[in-house]
Amino acid sequence: MPAEEATTIRVKVRVAGMEFEIEAPPDRIQEAVDQVLSVALKHGSAVATLRPPEAAPGAPSAGPTTCKGLIKALWREGWFATPRSLAEVHEEMARRGWHYDRTAVAHTLLDLVREGVLARQGKPRRYRYVQKKPPS
């Protein structure tokens, strides 16, 4: 193998919710990265417009991306005006395209209870979460 082919640079790029791995010779890496970024940004904006608007009202098109941010978005919508179980919260997040582990959702709900955003009703393993204070 010639020395030129043996020497390549590998770059990982995350943009617009997508991840790319680019491999190219040193003299062509900038061109390859530019091409990938232009395509990713073009398609990334199309993906952002497909996201349901109710997932994050008033937020940028990318919306909240953390489990806590998503649950707070549900709270701001008034979704917690009626008591909801962990299963209901988990299913609603999945319905909107956000697939978090059930334990992560449970921990986040507990954090929001401790912060005074949500109240917890019922017995262990059967808790229902309801807004403690209305969104401002």
**CATH code of 93's domain:** 1.10.10.10
| 40 and 73 part of one domain | no
DSSP 8-state secondary structure symbol assigned to residue 67: H
| 43 and 69 part of one domain | no
In a domain, residue 136? The reply is: no
pTM over 0.85: no
Give the pLDDT score at 133. Answer: 82
In a domain, residue 121? The reply is: yes
Q: What token pair was written down for 28?
A: 């062509």
| 64 and 120 part of one domain | yes
Q: What angle do CA 131, 119, 52 make, to 5 degrees?
A: 40
Angle between helices 102-114 and 86-95 (to 10 degrees): 120
Q: What is the mean pLDDT of the chain?
A: 80
| 70 and 40 part of one domain | no
| 61 and 121 part of one domain | yes
Domain range enclosing 109: 54-131
**Average of per-residue pLDDT across 82-108:** 93
pLDDT reading at 14 higher than 80: no
Give the pLDDT score at 43. Answer: 65
CA dist 118 and 99 (Å) reads 21
**How many independent structural domains does the chain possess?**
2
| 26 and 63 part of one domain | no
Q: In what order do the strands lie in the sheet with 84-85?
A: 84-85, 128-131, 118-121
| 31 and 74 part of one domain | no
| 65 and 8 part of one domain | no
pLDDT reading at 131 higher than 70: yes
**Average of per-residue pLDDT across 82-107:** 93
| 46 and 97 part of one domain | no
Give the pLDDT score at 60. Answer: 40
**Average of per-residue pLDDT across 87-106:** 93
pLDDT tens across 24-82, in order?
888 888 888 888 777 777 665 444 433 444 444 443 445 667 899 999 999 999 999 99
| 18 and 76 part of one domain | no
**Cα torsion 16, 17, 21, 26: sign:** positive
pLDDT reading at 4 higher than 70: no
| 103 and 121 part of one domain | yes
